[in-house]
Structure 1
Amino acid sequence: MINLYIFYHIENWKGLTCCDIGYECQKIDHWYSECMKVSNDIIRDNEESDDDNDAIEINTNEVSIENKDSDDESINPSVLWVIGDSTLCEFEEIYNNYYYKKYGYGTQLYHYFDKNIIVKNLAISGTSSKSFILEQSYHELIKNMKAGDYLTFGFGHNDEKREEERYTNPNGDYKTMGSFANSIYENYIKIAMERNVSIILTTPIVRRTDKSTWSSDKLHITKTKDGYEGGDYPQAIRDLGKTLNIPVIDMTVKTKELYDTFGYNNTLYLHAWKINDSSSVDNTHLNLWGSKYVAYLFTRDIKQASIDGLSEYVIDAPIPTKEENFIKNPTYNVTLIN
């Protein structure tokens, strides 16, 4: 076997740049290296060491990847737990064969926080602050909620239902048994406080009005009827926040202001439609555009509230547009409409 020479003179050398099998490259000086024959024992040793080096190289690559993502791994994100009713929840497809689908605004909050916040939405359609505690989502919350996390919730739409399993009385403070405030305090706030979880109280979003005026029920101010006492559910939340010194995001006021700005003819486009006809509008449930818009408003107020460890992670974002978000449900099936 003829020895091969590797010259390092970059400007002139155009020849071979590696040694043949059985030869090992040894540098002579800065001008060239010489391929020297090696013994079979050395070859075997090198093969064994190569096997080890293969494993080392794999591990090195893994370390390299870890180092590459070290900035992300150094972040210990906090969890924002979101609970509530259908105005926040994610809907199962089987119950969402709408031309413009239903979306709870809790499903869109993640768009407006950076990677320091993880949004975990456990809201369930049809629940009140009273009935939610019977759901698996409540047990998941209680099991996993920990110090440094945040908790927000949107109840009210179903607490006002005249049904024993869901109704809570809008009157009375957090010490009054059976009251809306007491249900929220005992089932959520008290437990969160014990775990050093930060709480953000939220009033319910309005129900859409189809005229230029607002009836009290659209604003969650109910009348006494059928043995169930009426009252002002959003105000109960506001009073609770004031009493316990907990920040309140007043989504009742925020959404009413938004709807007044749009005008009732245009708020149609914020809500779900069962079929491709505005007469089928669902005045309670938002569509994709509506849910993104409400989530946007919610997070703007979070930012302004200066909640340590949360507000600073709200990202600057444009207002969601109708053009991009008022879109037909791609899986809509007209034959399934009742």
Structure 2
Amino acid sequence: MSLDRRTLLRAALGGTIASAYGMEPASAAGGHRRTVFVAGDSTAATYATADIPRAGWGQALPVFLRPEITVVNAALSGASSKSFADLGRLDLIRAAIRPGDVLLISFGHNDEKTEDPARYTEPWTTFQEYLRRYLDGARARHARPILVTPVERRRFRTDGTPYESHGEYPAAMRALAEATGTPLIDLTALSFALWSRLGPEATKDYFLWSEPQGLADNTHFQAHGAIEVARLVAAAGPQIPGRDRHALHDPAIPDDVLVWPPTRPAES
């Protein structure tokens, strides 16, 4: 990637992150800029300078979109489909989203927490019921919802073979997408295939692993992982506006294109 392209991309990312404060999409001369909203959890969230090198795939998504597209990353650390809606975060998106915009909806990690009634949902009942609220909210505003199954964790057996960790939640989301005619990005399957190809050691460069710091986080990403998961999302989402095909086919996007704001936007 050339220095000029990297500088331009960092400037665009800075503007995108700034637009997430208050969930107000940017305006362009002559009208509303097409906006991609992200509703999700910590795997997608935008992190602050104090969190470096931790990053979410929603934070990296603008890398793969043209500069005229705005990304409002409302993903909230610790959120489930239930808690995100119950906290009023979905209402904020519905107030800001406009006709022609896109809403990416990705939950599952925290819906699985049976010990936490504020977040737990059951895959085939309450999980689907809450997800329908996102679909209905976007469509009521003439925006397009896209369901995104939860990104797979880094899970390997002692013999090095990977295994899935999300139970029936991805299947429940796939079934809901089919039943409602909603576009689906199967990030569970895509990320599982990627981790399977990379294997136990190489995946450490994607997740929040750091031997000197004693970090061994198999759920959250460092910059490289966030960028590559965002690539999976953008590549599999033809309905996402303004995809940058040059970036999607660039295998050498550097980690330092990401921008970390002073505070976490979704928590400000």
Aligning the two structures, in what range does the TM-score lie when normalised by the shorter sequence?
Answer: 0.7 to 0.9
TM-score, reference length from structure 2? 0.77
Query: What is residue 284 of structure 1 aligned with on the other side?
Result: 219
Cα distance in 2 for partners of 1:282, 1:170 equals 25
The amino acid across from 1:282 in the alignment is D
Query: What is residue 94 of structure 2 aligned with on the other side?
Result: 142
Q: Deviations over 1:169-217 (max 9, x none)?
A: 0124xxxxxx21111102x11111111110111000001024422344x
User: What SS class does the counterpart of residue 148 from structure 1 fall into?
Assistant: coil
Cα distance in 2 for partners of 1:140, 1:92 equals 21
Cα distance in 1 for partners of 2:103, 2:136 equals 12
- Is the contact between residue 293 and residue 319 of structure 1 (CA under 8 Å) also seen in structure 2? no
Match for residue 247 of structure 1 among 183, 187, 198:
183
Residue 91 of structure 1 pairs with residue 44 of structure 2: no
Query: What is residue 18 of structure 1 aligned with on the other side?
Result: none
Residue 234 of structure 1 pairs with residue 164 of structure 2: no
Cα distance in 1 for partners of 2:170, 2:98 equals 27
Query: What is residue 194 of structure 1 aligned with on the other side?
Result: 140
Count of residues in Structure 1 that have an aligned counterpart in Structure 2 = 227
Larger relative helix fraction: 2
Q: Deviations over 1:260-300 (max 9, x none)?
A: 111111100001135525x6221000100000011111111
- Is the contact between residue 66 and residue 242 of structure 2 (CA under 8 Å) also seen in structure 1? no
TM-score, reference length from structure 1? 0.62
Query: What is residue 33 of structure 2 aligned with on the other side?
Result: 77
Cα distance in 2 for partners of 1:171, 1:249 equals 19
- Structure 1: tracts of 5 or more residues without a match: 1-71, 173-178, 222-231, 331-338
User: What SS class does the counterpart of residue 124 from structure 2 fall into?
Assistant: coil
Cα distance in 2 for partners of 1:326, 1:252 equals 26
Identical amino acids, percent of aligned pairs:
30
CA RMSD in angstroms comes to 2.4
Select the structure of larger CA radius of gyration. 1
Residues 55-204 of structure 1: matches in 2 within 5 Å? 73=29, 76-94=32-50, 96=51, 101-135=53-87, 137-162=89-114, 163-172=116-125, 179-186=126-133, 188-204=134-150
Report the CA distance shift for 1:207/1:326 in structure 2 as closer, same or farther (over 3 A).
farther
The amino acid across from 1:81 in the alignment is F
Of structures 1 and 2, the one with the larger relative CO (CA 8 A, separation 6+) is 2
Query: What is residue 256 of structure 1 aligned with on the other side?
Result: 192
- Is the contact between residue 33 and residue 69 of structure 2 (CA under 8 Å) also seen in structure 1? yes
Query: What is residue 205 of structure 1 aligned with on the other side?
Result: 151
Q: Deviations over 1:296-326 (max 9, x none)?
A: 11111113xxx2xx4554432144548x329
Cα distance in 2 for partners of 1:136, 1:288 equals 29
Residue 299 of structure 1 pairs with residue 234 of structure 2: yes
Report the CA distance shift for 1:319/1:206 in structure 2 as closer, same or farther (over 3 A).
farther
Task: Tell me the CA shift for residue 76 of structure 1.
Answer: 4.7
Report the CA distance shift for 1:314/1:181 in structure 2 as closer, same or farther (over 3 A).
farther
- Is the contact between residue 114 and residue 315 of structure 1 (CA under 8 Å) also seen in structure 2? no
- Structure 2: tracts of 5 or more residues without a match: 1-27, 261-268
Cα distance in 1 for partners of 2:71, 2:244 equals 12
Q: Deviations over 1:63-91 (max 9, x none)?
A: xxxxxxxxx84575211111100000012
